[in-house]
Amino acid sequence: MTDSDLSLDPVVDPAAMRKQYRAQGLDAKELAAHPMDQFSRWFEDAARAAVHGTLYEPNAMVVSTADATGRPSSRTVLMKQYDTDGFVFYTNYDSRKARELAANPYVSLLFPWHPIARQVIVTGVARRTGREESAAYFRLRPHGSQLGAWASAQSSVLMSRDELDAAYAELGARYPEGEQVPVPPHWGGFRIAPETVEFWQGRENRMHDRLRYVARPDGAWDVERLSP
């Protein structure tokens, strides 16, 4: 199929794809004083949409990092906790994102809630969670996920899928269902302390609402409206 063939079919032509957002607007006067309280409101909306089958995995977020030379990389992870101190996710500390965060702790998060025409964009600084906090969450994970944290040397090159499956099977034999799996020393959480939090509400004719909280040195937050 040639480029000209693709351009004739609006189903597969990105330039022909259109979606009008007719959602209710976002007024600065209605925002919570703290961005994490506002996030809680929107996350509850996203979670309810997921219950009704409208949205998939509301806690999925795109984490963007950059290495010491400034080269960026992105991936989707699952946010597992949020509070006034920020957002928490868990990973292998030898993974690409963890190694990049060790060299450059500045990070961006994106919650892409497309079905409800909303996004939340966060910039901030990542720090490792404490060992006890990481261990407490690890013990809440399903048994298979605990084994997977040991079996996968995340981001490393594999010779084949068989290599990964064999490692998982060996761990399954060593730690059968019902037996406690030790917490890997190379596994744990990151907490992202936000410096800016933008709430993006899709509006008709691409006239979107974008309201961004910006942290002040005294711990308070300013809110600014951005042009769409």
Q: What is the pLDDT of residues 76-122, one digit of tens each?
A: 999 999 999 999 999 999 999 999 999 999 999 999 999 999 999 99
The reported pLDDT for the residue numbered 117 is 95
Calculate the dihedral angle through the C-alpha atoms of 90, 94, 196, 201, rounding to the nearest 10 degrees: -60
The reported pLDDT for the residue numbered 34 is 97
Instruction: Examine the pLDDT at 24 and tell me if it is beyond 90.
Output: no
Compute the average pLDDT of residues 1-15.
Answer: 64
Pairing of strands 86-92, 209-215: unpaired
Tokens of residue 115, six digits: 């079905």
Residue 48: pLDDT band with limits 50, 70, 90: very high
Question: Three-class SS string for the chain?
Answer: CCHHHHHCCCCCCHHHCCCCCCCCCCCHHHCCCCHHHHHHHHHHHHHHHHHCCCCCCCCEEEEEEECCCCCEEEEEEECCEEECCEEEEEEECCCHHHHHHHHCCEEEEEEEEHHHCEEEEEEEEEEECCHHHHHHHHCCCCHHHHHHHHHCCCCCCCCCHHHHHHHHHHHHHHCCCCCCCCCCCCEEEEEEEEEEEEEEECCHHHCCEEEEEEECCCCCEEEEEECC
The mean-pLDDT minimum among 1-5, 53-57, 76-80 falls in: 1-5
**Backbone φ and ψ of 87, nearest 5°:** -115, 140
The reported pLDDT for the residue numbered 8 is 63
Q: Which of 71, 161, 206, 216 is catalytic?
A: 206
Asked if 206 is an active-site residue, the reply is: yes
